[in-house]
Amino acid sequence: MRIGIGLPNPVPGTPGTLLPTWASQAEQHGFSTLATIDRVAFANHDSLIALAAAAAVTERIELLTNILLLPTRQPVLLAKETATIASISNGRLTLGVGVGGREDDFTLSETSFADRGKRTDQMLETMTAAWRGEPIDGSTEPVVPVVPGGRVPLLVGGNGAAAVRRTIEYGDGWTVGGAPPDQVAPMVQRIRQAWTDAGKAGAPRILALTYYSLGGEVEESSFGYLRHYYATFGQYAEMIANGALRSEDAVRGALDAYAEAGVDEVIFDPTVADLAQIDRLAKIVL
């Protein structure tokens, strides 16, 4: 199983200068992937800018948005931004996308919450055409730099029929964040069956994100961050906060359970922006 780590780009108070250092240290330890979490109505560092900075100080680690709130963005600009990071990183960017579930993110980005699903489909169509070098409506020539491999790899998030359809139509696989393994397993089966039924080559990539902190001295900060980040979801915030992995046994048990559920890669997302968290996790999982 591949094992990645998150950037602490959404953890309140994280200095931007920490992010390139975090990325470099994660690569030195041998983590497979470096992932961000995306919001608009929150004081997080922007996912794409953070990953561009990470690309400049790394050479091998995969760069992943997990996930980007696709319908809060403008499709041509997003295609250009992601193609640029893919070019800078020599093809190491993977774009994980979802429709989003918090209306305030759409209010602040002046985009529609009600038709975000329809807009997501339209954006995926536009972006994949732009990555292929096709002219977009309003242009007579390509509008993005050449992308290694002809496209930016895509992972699709979500638990409904639309997420399955988008994974098959546009994606290289499926990603889920914050869900325990027993909830992930049925969706993994749906994705793989739909992939086979569609006659797609190979197998879909299956990725899961789980939160962690290691060390009793940071436990209070970890709880505080998750309760704050998910506060708009009421009691669900407490469930997420309590579900974070906070011991070596919990981390190892989660790896085994996600593997049993059919997950190919686990991203351990930090809830504390302390470089020691990279070292502590690496000693357990690498």
Q: Quick check: pTM over 0.85? A: yes
The rounded distance, in Å, linking the Cα atoms of 243 and 267 is 15
The rounded distance, in Å, linking the Cα atoms of 165 and 190 is 11
Helix runs in the chain, H state only: 18-29, 47-57, 75-88, 103-108, 116-131, 161-170, 181-197, 219-229, 235-243, 248-261, 276-285
List the pLDDT tens digit at each of the 286 positions of the chain: 999 999 999 999 999 999 999 999 999 999 999 999 999 999 999 999 999 999 999 999 999 999 999 999 999 999 999 999 999 999 999 999 999 999 999 999 999 999 999 999 999 999 999 999 999 999 999 999 999 899 999 999 999 999 999 999 999 999 999 899 999 999 999 999 999 999 999 999 999 999 999 999 999 999 999 999 999 999 999 999 999 999 999 999 999 999 999 999 999 999 999 999 999 999 999 9
264, amino acid identity = D
Instruction: Look at the domain 2-285 and name its fold.
Output: TIM Barrel (3.20.20)
Residue-range domain boundaries for the chain:
2-285
pLDDT reported for residue 28: 98
* Coil, strand or helix at 224: helix
